[in-house]
A and B are shown apart, each in its own frame.
Chain A
Amino acid sequence: MTVLLETSRLIRRYGGVTAVDGVDFTLNEGELRCLIGPNGAGKSTFFKMLCGLVPPSSGAIKIRNDDVTGMRPHEIASRGVGIKTQVPSLFDGLTVRESVEVAAMRRLTPSAACDIADETLGHLNLKGIANRIVGQLSHGQRQWTELAMVLSTDPKIVLLDEPVAGMTHDEVNRTEDLLKHINTTRTVIVVEHDMQFVKRIATKVTVFHHGRILIEDDVDRVLADSRVRDVYLGKSGLRYA
């Protein structure tokens, strides 16, 4: 298997607090990996370092063996990394269609971007809200709009931070189908708290705890692991409840 993304001894400190503490992480091409862990485990900081929003204090990040450590977000994005953030980060004053077109324009001419936007909006069932102003959308619609923007950039690696947070049961089902479809052509990393959802989409899971990787294994083995139960529910986990 080809290694697509690799971090070595990745550390991020905020003053005296170490949010991510020496993470060695490897992601192969075509994987759909879930990152789980209690609040404050370092998942989101890890994500932010992967897409360039937060520079690492030390360590290295490589994409296809290309060192991207400390690069700015646009440089990492142009290497094929797309991120859907935990709280949707959108162009509130533009329409849904305009937002997706702008996203697609990074690699396409405006007319080609228009075609891709049409295709993406159709694929995500967003044509009905295509001409609505993004700032007026519901939370679920905002999540999907951000996803449409990310997908229209044709990323090789898709980072999704809590993609089903605040979604209805039907929307969660649709998201599950969509993620599986995305994973047929792209590598996906998902940070998620909903264990049922994780069980439905992932084969391999990485558990973060205290800024480090606690365990990394098949989903069933991870969810049956006593250390994981302790982190979420038991001894040490109580501190993060």
Chain B
Amino acid sequence: MRALQSHVTTIGTLVAGIVLVGIVPFAVAPFTLADLTLYAAMAILAMSLGFIWGFGGILSFGQSVFFGVGGYTYAIVALNFDSPSLALLAAIAVAVTGALLLGYFIFWGRLSDVYLAVITLTISLIFFMLMNSMSSSIYRIGDVPIGGYNGIPGIPPLVVPGTDRSLSVAETYVLVVTVALLVYLGLSWLIRTKFGRILCSIKENEVRAELLGYDARLYKLAAFAVGAAIAGMAGALFAVYSGLINPDVFGIGFSAQIIVWVMLGGLGTLIGPALGAVLIQMLVVWLGKVQVIDANMALGVLFIVAVLLVPAGLVPRLQGLLAVAFGNLARSRP
């Protein structure tokens, strides 16, 4: 059954890859491709939370922190050293280091899930306040001013390896979508490994897992770090896409929005959070264009409706309907 799931995941991702990478760049306008790049970056971020929350039981409001730290690190390193590739690696490394430090205090401190959520939310707010307050020109790292509420503009795009040529809009889109597909495949593989299966069991019952001989703290810390690495990378790709990073990425609205993506798409799946992120981002972009209702208010209403109508999320609901339609269709996760 696991082998079948693995094949379905790989083939499905391959088909999606052919369509998204091989057809879409030639079929849509550059402006739409830029929007799709944003959706893909947000889908990566959503999968990072979908992984640690849905498979590790770690409800973190702090994914936005790792996302923001990744974005800021990319900007600072890329502008200081003129090396976008190095900046991308630095973004991941700094996010992972932060996660290891924070995770150590959380998991070794035996904080309950509620405290974990509160602490990660508090940290995102601290970052929000801190970055906003650094508007003076004295706050700089190397040659790059932090910029306070204005953030850091003029972030350089990624370049073709071995050359100085910047990636075009279409190439950036292909890169970000490819990364999203690889993250999906990688996490799907990780969940099926020994590590992933033990992590899932810890989510189910941490005490039992400990009684069987597993150090739950270590597994959760590792999962937290993986989630942070992916969120940091998503932040760097977002910075590449937008050319600007500002403290809004640490805001409570954005932190909560990531939770909504995962819940709407379906906790306990990987495709669900990615789908949730894309759908909500599309909605936000559309609402911004039509100017009928405030986007945050619309998201609030959508969240309440979704919780009432599809409490398990869209993808698990769809899986349930398919199972009914096709008889005893195997539970497919992720």
Contact = CB atoms under 8 A, between A and B. Distances in A.
B168 interface: no
Contacts of B193: 110
Contacts, number: 68
B198 interface: yes
Contact of B197 (A52, A101, A107): A101
A52 B204 CA distance: 20
A236 interface: no
A98 B211 contact: no
Interface string A40-81: 000000000001110000000000000000001110011000
Interface string B186-197: 000000011001
B207 A90 contact: no
Nearest to B215: A74
Contact of B211 (A83, A93, A107, A109): A83
A107 B210 CA distance: 14
A107 B194 CA distance: 11
Given A74-B216, A78-B213, A89 B197 contact: no
A89 B210 CA distance: 11
| Secondary structure class of chain B's binding surface, majority of residues | helix
B214 A91 contact: no
Interface in B208-222: 208-216
Interface residues of B, number: 18
B80 interface: no
B207 A53 contact: yes
B204 A73 contact: no
Nearest to A77: B213
B272 to A, nearest CB: 16
B204 A74 contact: no
A13 interface: no
Contacts of A51: 211
10 contacts: A74-B210, A74-B212, A83-B211, A89-B208, A94-B200, A102-B209, A106-B212, A106-B213, A110-B194, A149-B208
Interface of B: 193-194, 197-198, 200-201, 204-205, 207-216
Top 5 A-B pairs, shortest CB-CB distance = A77-B213, A91-B204, A73-B210, A106-B213, A89-B208
